[in-house]
């Protein structure tokens, strides 16, 4: 069967991220597992998405193709991005980011994907001269929050440059808060240490990815029950 309106709705949500986990998409859009996988199968058969199967046991991942992003734009969707890589490591990170986007979606927060962030100027100028864009942005009650999903350790100099860049845009009033999402204690400890050096203070928060996943699953299940 060809993709229908429900499939294109899924394609548009995915296209704002480029890569996403199937379960986070399911939760964000209020779909059952069977319906979500049916839409993915139809989109894949049409060449609009590709399936990725990381071997970490965290669930299936799907990436929009260039053809999929192009079709979504032709149908009026904004903020579509094509992933630079569909390697397993990129897929795992993309799935993690999509859980954070789904957490915003089920709570009714406005969230911004990569293209949205660039178009709205959510760029950080690092003190080493490079530019940096967060993984996601949240906008809630006028507060602008940059989200970094960190699954691996960065070098101290690179992390320090990024955090100092965030410090500068927060002091300038361009952002209000920075949240790092990670389940690794060593990553969290390094971020805290470098944030102290950067004088980020209370503008920085660190949260566990697994906690976000668990709560998003709960809220999504409650929403589906209310709609049945």
**Residues of the chain predicted below pLDDT 70:** 228
* Closest C-alpha among 5, 22, 131, 136 to residue 76: 5
SS (H, E, C) the chain: CCCCHHHHHHHHHHHCCCEEEHHHHHHHHCCCHHHHHHHHHHHHHCCCEEEECCCCCCCCEEEECHHHHHHHHHCCCCCCCCCCCCCHHHHHHHHHHHHHHHHHHHHCCEEECHHHHHHCCCCEECCCCCEECCCEEEEECCEEEEEEECCCCCCHHHHHHHHHHHHHHHHCCCCCEEEEECCCHHHHHHHHHHHHHHCCHHHEEEECHHHHHHHHHHHHHHHHHHHC
d(CA 14, CA 30): 14
Q: Specify the pTM.
A: 0.94
Give 65-86 pLDDT, tens digit per residue: 999 999 999 999 999 998 887 7
**Confidence (pLDDT) at 142:** 87
HSE of 206 in the Cβ direction (CA atoms, 13 Å)? Answer: 18
**Confidence (pLDDT) at 23:** 97
Give 188-219 pLDDT, tens digit per residue: 999 999 999 999 999 999 999 999 999 999 99
**Confidence (pLDDT) at 227:** 74
**Domains within the chain, CATH numbers bracketed:** 5-227 (1.10.10.10)
**Confidence (pLDDT) at 228:** 65
């Amino acid at each position: 069967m060809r993709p229908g309106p429900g499939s294109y709705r899924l394609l548009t949500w995915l296209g704002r991220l480029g890569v996403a986990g199937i379960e986070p998409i399911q939760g964000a859009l209020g779909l059952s597992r069977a319906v979500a996988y049916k839409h993915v199968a139809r989109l894949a058969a049409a060449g609009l998405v590709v399936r990725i199967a990381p071997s970490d046991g965290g669930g299936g991942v799907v990436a929009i193709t260039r053809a999929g992003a192009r079709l979504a734009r032709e149908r009026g969707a904004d903020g579509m991005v094509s992933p630079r890589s569909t390697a397993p490591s990129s897929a795992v990170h993309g799935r993690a980011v999509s859980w954070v986007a789904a957490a915003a979606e089920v709570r009714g927060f406005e969230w911004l994907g990569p293209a949205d962030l660039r178009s709205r100027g959510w760029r950080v100028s690092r003190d080493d001269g490079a530019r940096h864009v967060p993984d996601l942005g949240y906008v809630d009650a006028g507060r602008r929050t940059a989200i970094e999903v960190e699954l691996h350790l960065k070098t101290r100099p690179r992390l320090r440059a990024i955090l100092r860049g965030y410090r500068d845009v927060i002091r300038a009033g361009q952002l209000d808060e920075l949240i790092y999402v990670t389940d690794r204690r060593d990553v969290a400890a390094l971020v805290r240490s470098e944030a102290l050096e950067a004088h980020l203070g209370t503008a920085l928060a660190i949260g566990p990815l697994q906690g976000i996943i668990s709560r998003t699953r709960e809220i999504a299940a409650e929403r589906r029950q209310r709609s049945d």
